[in-house]
């Protein structure tokens, strides 16, 4: 028994356990003595890394769930069904982590339910609160399929299946709304946010970029799930997502530059200094490098290229959100904010919790490569209990690098 | 009670920097601790020296269309008919979006409390209800801060500008800034020299958000139509394919992993 327990202690798990234990202490201190006791937030910097990273970037990176659901259920791109469950699972985990982060971030979390009864339709945050509540419910329902399937509750599964298409459409609408409205949050501070990031149409920037980020994240998850769970990445599908991502990034970049030009802010991107440096670093990582990698590997994309391009885009995307929420404001009104180690530990712990949740779900539920198991086609039998342990399988018979 | 909206007129040429307003504010609002050098959760108004013997008060401007009120998801901040922007901690989430949204960086937060509140000047709302002026205006020995109906004070400010053009910079700060505020300033020099933010828009900032949020119904209707139509087309395509014969059914091309498990 003891030996069995010890065998579970891989270095990564020990590290994760230490991280989470530290986070537990920090959370206790935060609730006992207030936000100021563990963060560098102040009256001059009311929003920091927890908003910029955990919330803004986190929600954007979870966009893969609605993108893949729309692709398969609404647009009928059946080919991509094998990626669907993993995308919905990671989106669900993302939103649950976001809500967890939010409870730590807001000062009076016991009032969080007030959004349901006290309405201010003029507030972008009010719209986001409702969309996130409803969309998390949609994600739970979408993902619950997997649970009913695992439990063998065929009747519940059948009922759910009947409403799945409308449910997915509602999910896409809710996502479109709140992904863009996260940008609307910052439209009210034209003179507090640096003009390289401020735009009266920030919601459009946020929506287009979340599409790319969602796809990038699905590709990157392919890598993580390969590295940590031993599932070979779907090299017959993922490179196509990376190509679509590159296309969206090009549209995004053209749009972004055009927007700057129209507002007369483009010269700022070429003025020496920190703002221009941050702007180009962000766009280099988010747009230029990923697009170049995709272009150079147009005929055959290696796993390495796929993960380089997706990781690069993910980092660049996080930078964009962080620049809007924190850095871009600091450039106008420097307050010397830098996150405390406690803020970083909490952010890393949320990612750690995500890994644990994803690992557990993939181990105990039919998530990965459940492509053919959709009951709509009368092929429910594709999955049978008990689940075989996740096993490596030959990389896509169709040929991994098949040009498509 | 629909009294005329109240306001404060701060005439920087008359301010001697005595700080009586800050002190009176502390007493009237039962705020602990001595007056601090800048706005904090427990100091709702300060007098800041801006060189040349000039003193500028910092306090909540009680905008006519306040950003903080518009951004609060639950409406914990409200603009009263008679002027004050007031706060209700019982519904506040502590999201601090009001602090981000405020163009004048006024709302403050209790960072070291387990039950933190947003704190800021409330234009002595309880005193106003009893028909009293704000504590700061009452305490001011030089009438640098005066209290009254906003319309009256605008007229007073304009009269002073007209009577003594040599004494004033020809602008009433707060008349049009962010669509108008309930705290008006007169200055001997251009306002940017006194660290006023003169880059703020001259229209209510909540308009910027509202005109975007107005698109929500359109996005929902157009989006639902587009997605519904796409779904119908895809089902129809499969239906037709199935009717035409099993060897032409398209939905068998689920990826290579389709038959695992």
For chain B positions 178-207, those within 8 Å of chain A (CB to CB) are 197, 199-201, 205-206
**How does residue B259 score in pLDDT terms, banded at 50, 70 and 90?**
very low
> Which of B100, B205, B238 faces A47 most closely, judged by CB atoms?
B100
For chain A positions 339-368, those within 8 Å of chain B (CB to CB) are 366
Residue B210 lies in a domain: no
CB contact, 8 Å: B214 with chain A?
no
Which residue has better confidence, A392 or B5?
A: B5
pLDDT at A317 > cutoff 80: yes
Are residues B186 and B92 located together in one domain of the fold? yes
Å between B93 CA and nearest CA of chain A: 5
B213·A200 Cβ contact <8 A? no
B220·A169 Cβ contact <8 A? no
Query: Domain count of chain B?
Result: 2
B91·A118 Cβ contact <8 A? yes
A115·B223 Cβ contact <8 A? no
Q: Model confidence over B144-188: pLDDT tens digits?
A: 999 999 999 999 999 999 999 999 999 999 999 999 999 999 999
Are residues B115 and B179 located together in one domain of the fold? yes
pLDDT at A75 > cutoff 80: yes
ipTM surpasses cut 0.90 = no
Instruction: Please report the pLDDT score of residue A211 as a whole number.
Output: 97
Are residues B192 and B252 located together in one domain of the fold? no
pLDDT at A1 > cutoff 90: no
Q: How many percent of chain A have pLDDT more than 90?
A: 70
> Which of B110, B224, B257 faces A371 most closely, judged by CB atoms?
B257
Are residues B151 and B88 located together in one domain of the fold? yes
Calpha distance A74→A71 (Å, rounded) = 6
Are residues B249 and B173 located together in one domain of the fold? no
Instruction: Please report the pLDDT score of residue B28 as a whole number.
Output: 94
- When pLDDT is averaged across residues A339-364 and rounded to a whole number, the result is 92
**How does residue B246 score in pLDDT terms, banded at 50, 70 and 90?**
low
A177·B254 Cβ contact <8 A? no
Q: Which of B84, B79, B81 is nearest to B67 (CA)?
A: B79
Q: Model confidence over A373-392: pLDDT tens digits?
A: 333 333 333 333 333 334 44
For chain B positions 84-113, those within 8 Å of chain A (CB to CB) are 89-97, 99-101, 103, 105, 108-113
> Angle, nearest 10°, between helix axes A303-322 and A289-296?
160
Are residues B65 and B31 located together in one domain of the fold? yes
Q: Report the relative pairing of strands B6-11 and B183-186 from DSSP bridges.
A: parallel
CATH of domain A53-348: 1.20.1630.10
Q: Model confidence over B98-144: pLDDT tens digits?
A: 999 999 999 999 999 999 999 999 999 999 999 999 999 999 999 99
pLDDT at A170 > cutoff 90: yes
Domain with B235, as residue range(s), is 215-256
Q: Which two tokens stand for residue A123?
A: 């507030």
Q: Among B182, B204, B226, give the residue marking a domain's end.
A: B204
> Which of A107, A114, A127 faces B74 most closely, judged by CB atoms?
A114
Instruction: Please report the pLDDT score of residue A394 as a whole number.
Output: 43
Cα radius of gyration (chain A): 22
- When pLDDT is averaged across residues A63-89 and rounded to a whole number, the result is 93
* CATH number of the domain residue B28 falls in: 3.30.70.20
pLDDT at A338 > cutoff 50: yes
Total beta-carbon pairs less than 8 A apart between chain A and chain B:
230
- When pLDDT is averaged across residues A142-147 and rounded to a whole number, the result is 91
Mean pLDDT for chain A overall:
88
pLDDT at A233 > cutoff 60: yes
Q: Is B138 exposed, middle or buried (0-12, 13-18, 19+ CB in 10 A)?
A: middle
Instruction: Please report the pLDDT score of residue A5 as a whole number.
Output: 74
CB contact, 8 Å: B222 with chain A?
no
Are A43 and B108 in contact by the 8 Å Cβ rule? The answer is yes
A112·B39 Cβ contact <8 A? no
Å between B223 CA and nearest CA of chain A: 6
Among B93, B113, B210, B234, the residue to mutate for chain A (most A Cβ within 10 A): B93
B212·A397 Cβ contact <8 A? no
Among B42, B46, B65, B74, the residue to mutate for chain A (most A Cβ within 10 A): B74
Are A237 and A401 in contact by the 8 Å Cβ rule? The answer is no
B95·A106 Cβ contact <8 A? yes
Q: Which of A325, A111, A128, A290 is nearest to A213 (CA)?
A: A290
Are residues B183 and B243 located together in one domain of the fold? no
Are residues B228 and B120 located together in one domain of the fold? no
Q: Model confidence over B32-52: pLDDT tens digits?
A: 989 999 999 999 999 999 988
CB contact, 8 Å: A35 with chain B?
yes
pLDDT at A239 > cutoff 70: yes
**How does residue A135 score in pLDDT terms, banded at 50, 70 and 90?**
very high
């Amino acid at each position: 028994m003891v030996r069995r327990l010890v065998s579970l202690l891989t270095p990564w798990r020990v590290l994760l356990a230490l991280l989470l234990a530290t986070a537990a202490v920090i959370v206790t201190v935060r609730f006992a003595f207030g936000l100021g006791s563990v963060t560098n937030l102040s009256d001059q910097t009311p929003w920091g890394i927890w908003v910029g990273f955990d919330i803004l970037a986190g929600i954007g990176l979870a966009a893969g769930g609605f993108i893949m659901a729309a692709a398969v259920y609404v647009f009928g791109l059946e080919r991509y069904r094998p990626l669907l469950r993993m995308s919905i699972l990671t989106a669900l985990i993302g939103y649950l982590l976001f809500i967890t982060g939010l409870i730590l971030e807001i000062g009076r979390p016991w009032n969080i339910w007030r959004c349901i009864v006290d309405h201010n339709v003029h507030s972008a945050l009010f719209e986001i609160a409702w969309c996130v509540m409803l969309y998390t419910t949609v994600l739970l329902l979408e993902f619950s399929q997997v649970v009913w399937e695992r439990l063998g509750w065929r009747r519940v599964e059948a009922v759910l299946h009947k409403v799945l298409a409308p449910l997915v459409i509602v999910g896409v609408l809710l996502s479109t709304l709140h992904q863009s409205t996260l940008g609307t949050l910052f439209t009210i501070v034209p003179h507090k946010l640096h003009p390289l990031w401020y735009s009266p149409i920030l919601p459009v920037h946020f929506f287009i970029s979340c599409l790319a980020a969602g796809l990038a994240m699905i590709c990157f998850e392919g890598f993580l799930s390969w590295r940590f769970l031993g599932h070979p990445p779907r090299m017959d599908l993922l490179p196509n997502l990376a190509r679509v991502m590159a296309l969206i990034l090009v549209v995004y970049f053209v749009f972004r530059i055009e927007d700057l030009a129209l507002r007369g802010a483009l010269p700022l991107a070429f003025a020496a200094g920190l703002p221009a440096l941050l702007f180009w670093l962000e766009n280099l990582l988010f747009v230029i490098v990923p697009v170049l990698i995709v272009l150079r590997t147009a005929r055959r994309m290696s796993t390495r290229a796929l993960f380089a391009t997706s990781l690069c885009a993910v980092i660049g995307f996080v930078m964009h959100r962080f620049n809007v929420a924190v850095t871009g404001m600091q450039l106008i009104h420097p307050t010397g904010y830098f996150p405390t180690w406690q803020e970083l530990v909490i952010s890393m712990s949320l990612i750690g919790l995500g890994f644990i949740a994803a690992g557990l779900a993939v181990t105990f539920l039919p998530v990965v490569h459940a492509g053919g198991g959709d009951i709509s086609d009368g092929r429910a039998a594709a999955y049978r209990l008990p689940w075989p342990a996740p096993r490596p399988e030959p990389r896509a018979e169709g040929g991994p690098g098949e040009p498509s | 009670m629909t009294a005329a909206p109240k306001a404060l007129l701060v005439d920087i040429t008359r301010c001697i920097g005595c700080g009586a307003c800050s002190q009176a504010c502390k007493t009237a609002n039962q705020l602990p601790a001595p007056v601090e050098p800048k706005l904090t959760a427990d100091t709702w108004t300060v007098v800041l020296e801006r060189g040349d013997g000039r003193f500028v008060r910092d306090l909540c401007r009680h905008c006519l269309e306040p950003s903080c009120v518009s951004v609060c998801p639950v409406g914990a901040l409200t603009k009263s008919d008679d002027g004050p922007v007031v706060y209700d901690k019982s519904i506040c989430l502590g999201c601090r979006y009001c602090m981000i949204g405020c163009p004048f960086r006024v709302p403050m937060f209790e960072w070291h409390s387990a039950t933190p509140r947003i704190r800021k000047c409330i234009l002595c709302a309880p005193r106003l209800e009893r028909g009293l002026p704000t504590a700061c205006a009452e305490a001011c020995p030089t009438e640098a801060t005066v209290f009254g109906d906003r319309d009256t004070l605008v007229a007073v400010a304009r009269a002073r500008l007209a009577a003594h053009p040599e004494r004033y910079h020809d602008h009433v700060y707060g008349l049009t800034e962010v669509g108008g505020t309930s705290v008006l300033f007169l200055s001997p020099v251009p306002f940017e020299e006194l660290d006023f933010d003169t880059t703020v828009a001259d229209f209510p900032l909540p308009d910027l958000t509202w005109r975007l949020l107005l698109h929500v119904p359109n996005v929902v209707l157009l989006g639902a139509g587009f997605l519904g139509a796409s779904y119908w087309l895809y089902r129809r395509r499969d239906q037709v394919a199935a009717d035409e014969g099993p060897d032409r059914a398209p939905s068998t091309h689920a990826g290579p992993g389709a038959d695992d498990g």
